Structure 1
Amino acid sequence: MTQLTLINALLKPHLAFKEIAQVDSNAAKILQKIVPLLLLAPPIFVWLGSGLFGWRMGADEALFLDNTSRVIISFCYFIALSLGFFSTVFIAHWMGVTYGADKPLKVYFALITVVYFPFLIGSIAHIYPNAFFNLLVLLLTLIWCMTLLYKGLPVALEIPPERGMLMSSSLVAWLLVGAVSLLGISVGLWTIGIGPAIAV
């Protein structure tokens, strides 16, 4: 696996996933160096954006958070991303047996890392935390990630496209359940008074 794999995933995803499929490659070692950046960058962008510009949710005045709240939100964001990333790797590895994939964990690790990479690019939008702008960028980013997942999973795991589509759909369902659960937990915490202090 070359250093250009992530760039290939953006420009030539089919070649990148073929490279990931090679079990004897150094995919895991190279991508292990990239994962901290993928998980740390979005929370850092949130911390910077909410401090520099404040959140805009359709109102004329920006909503600013105190530094403690910003740090807590960014830390929780990092925890949520980390849990989502690593749980998806292990869930995909567990599902792989059902769909006829016989690959070691490092292949799944590399696959999910490449699929996740567009989210890093999209998270740059957090620097200007306008709710509607971020929502639009998030939707486009998710489409990009899902395209990589559906196209790349059968290639990386060397399984038939039909099984790849079913397994990809199962992973998307897992992520949707996680996202809805996270929203529910957030609403519950805010309802009982555990939330950031907001100042206009």
Structure 2
Amino acid sequence: MSLSHTVGLFTHPDREWESIRAESESVSRLYLGHILLLALIPTVAGFYGTTQVGWQIGDGQVIKLTSSSALQLCLLAYAAMLAGVFILGKFIDFFAATYQVQDSTPRGVTLAAYTSTPIFLLGIIAVYPNIWVNMMVGLIAIAYAVYLLYEGLPILMKIPEERGFMFASSVLTVGLVMLVALLAISVVIWGIGIGPVYAD
């Protein structure tokens, strides 16, 4: 049932958030029916784009990764996406008491998963690894994800919009910190030898 919400989040997000709240999915069902599948989109697209299409800087030659290197990096990215949704969700549940959420049902992972939907879907652009195109589409995806966060949090948590705004801002801050931490971890991983290997 999880994937059925995907279209609704783009066409009528308010009603879709109400529907998501009514379903109250378990974390395991959410992963099996939504997160594991959608996170494959940028993963597979990234593998194809970096091994078959390649990218070009200026008028230089087209650069591609070896299949083994790309597979390794894509699997790490896939694991990071799965873990990131879960960790962000747990932060949301932790913040719930601070913002006086009365509902005892933990909904943090649900919010994190459905908020990430635009990023997962628009990750298809990775089949064409052009830095400017990817950056533009990435900004659109992030902007809509932020909109879904601010729109959906008060509905999912059943709290007033003004309190929901502060709550969503805290979640956004944690998300940005997690992104910086992920970049730092990537540098460390590259430093120990798990980095890109370019095809001849």
Tell me what 2:45 maps to.
45
| Counterpart Cα distance in 2 of 1:125 and 1:13 | 23
Partner of 1:111: 111
Residue matched to 2:186 = 186
Distance in 1 (CA, whole Å) between partners of 2:58 and 2:81 is 27
Equivalent in the alignment of 1:5: 5
Task: State the 1:31 CA deviation.
Answer: 3.6
1:134 matched to 2:134? The reply is yes
Q: Specify the alignment match of 2:85 in structure 1.
A: 85
Which residue of 1 is the match for residue 61 of structure 2?
Answer: 61
Are 2:150 and 2:164, in contact at CA under 8 Å, matched by a contact in 1?
yes
Distance in 2 separating the partners of 1:57 and 1:80: 27
- Cα RMSD of the aligned pairs, angstroms, is 2.1
Structure 2 gap ranges (5+): none
* Paired letter, 2:41: A
Contact 2:41 2:121 in 1 (8 A): no
Quote how far apart the aligned CAs of 1:193 are: 4.8
| CA deviation profile, 1:116-157 (whole Å, cap 9, x unmatched) | 111122101001111221111111100000000001100111
Structure 1: state its 5+ residue gaps. none
Query: Counterpart of 2:56 in 1: which secondary structure?
Result: coil
TM-score for the superposition, normalised by structure 2: 0.88
Matched letter for residue 134 of structure 1: N
Aligned residues with identical type, % of pairs: 29
Residue 21 of structure 1 deviates from its aligned partner by 2.7
Q: Which moved more, 1:1-10 or 1:46-55?
A: 1-10
Deviates more, 1:117-126 or 1:48-57: 48-57
Distance in 2 (CA, whole Å) between partners of 1:27 and 1:188 is 36
Distance 2:113 2:193 in 1: 36
- What is the Cα deviation at residue 27 of structure 1? 3.6
SS in 2 for 1:65: coil
Q: Name 1:16's counterpart in structure 2.
A: 16
Contact 1:3 1:30 survives alignment (8 Å): no
Kept after mapping to 2: 8 A contact 1:57/1:132: no
Structure 1 residue 194, shift from structure 2 partner: 4.1
Normalising by structure 1, we get a TM-score of: 0.88
With over 3 angstroms needed to count, the CA separation of the structure-2 counterparts of 1:190 and 1:30, relative to structure 1, is: closer
